Amino acid sequence: MIIGVNREYKEDLISLWHNVFGDDREYIELLFPEKGNICNIFAILENDTVCSVLYLLDCTVDIDNNEFEGKYLYAAATDKKYRKRGFMALLIEEAQKYCKDNGFDFISLVPANEQLYSYYGKFGFESKMCRYKETKQITLCDATEISGEKYFAERKKRLKNTFNFSGDSVDYAVSCLKYSGLRFYKSSEDIIYLSDGDIKDSEEILKADASFHPSDAEKYGMIYPINCKLKALLKDNTVYMNIALD
């Protein structure tokens, strides 16, 4: 049985997440606000127990001044007792069908390990996403903390050919990053960065004219293109991602 969002199974979903990923309840509950839903949930039940699940969050990809709307496939997990029965394959295919039927342009994800790149490749996901970490020495003066929402808005303005969270998933991403100890900053030189407070360990540093070159990037994430125009653009382009939810 495949289900959509249903609060009746919230405790099962939290328990499965904790057992597979080890996160504490406070962090997991960020995905389950008291009011409203911020994701699509696809799960397989057996004996009225959730045994396999994945979540879809709203996101966009911008390529060559074209914005495409899609879903970010997140926290895919199967209980140990139910693995090797093809449940995750069924969920991925159901998610792909849902996105096609509802007019979304793509699905993106970040595999948890290198071996999973080949697994997701079987479902049509392509390794056309990357990350780039600034390696040059940058001296920041008078940096002040800004809101996560402002950071993501600035990030979208500064970057080309990039992945961004959208809608309610922006608030969720901000909550997750802040829970992990990261904060958002802007310097007097108009540089924005994501860090735990130490510039040397910044997760991302973006100047006003932020850009990256594919030769300086490393593989990071995959995309399943649905829109024909997006498929064509991906032949000659790589999508910058960098910020994902672990």
Helix (H) or strand (E) holding 193: strand 192-195
pLDDT at 213: 60
**Are residues 144 and 120 part of one domain?**
no
**Are residues 101 and 146 part of one domain?**
no
**Are residues 45 and 138 part of one domain?**
no
Helix (H) or strand (E) holding 95: helix 87-101
Amino acid identity of residue 244, one-letter, is A
**Are residues 198 and 114 part of one domain?**
no
**Are residues 10 and 95 part of one domain?**
yes
**Are residues 124 and 38 part of one domain?**
yes
**Are residues 51 and 111 part of one domain?**
yes
**Are residues 106 and 70 part of one domain?**
yes
Its pTM stands at 0.92
Sign (positive or negative) of CA dihedral 67, 70, 75, 76: negative
| 245 inside domain | no
pLDDT tens per residue across span 64-92 = 889 999 999 999 999 999 999 999 999 99
**Are residues 122 and 197 part of one domain?**
no
| 158 inside domain | yes
- Listed as ranges, residues in the chain with pLDDT below 50 are 135
Q: Extract the tokens encoding 171.
A: 């608030």
What's the total number of domains in the chain? 2
Decide: 76 and 116 in contact? Cβ < 8 Å. no
**Are residues 156 and 114 part of one domain?**
no
**Are residues 190 and 119 part of one domain?**
no
Decide: 151 and 242 in contact? Cβ < 8 Å. no
| 35 inside domain | yes
**Are residues 126 and 223 part of one domain?**
yes
| 185 inside domain | yes
Which of 27, 119, 26 is CA-nearest to residue 73? Answer: 119
pLDDT at 32: 92
Question: What separation in angstroms does the CA of 12 have from each of 15, 16, 27, 63, 112?
Answer: 5, 6, 15, 39, 22
pLDDT at 92: 98
Range of the structural domain that residue 179 is part of: 134-212
| 246 inside domain | no
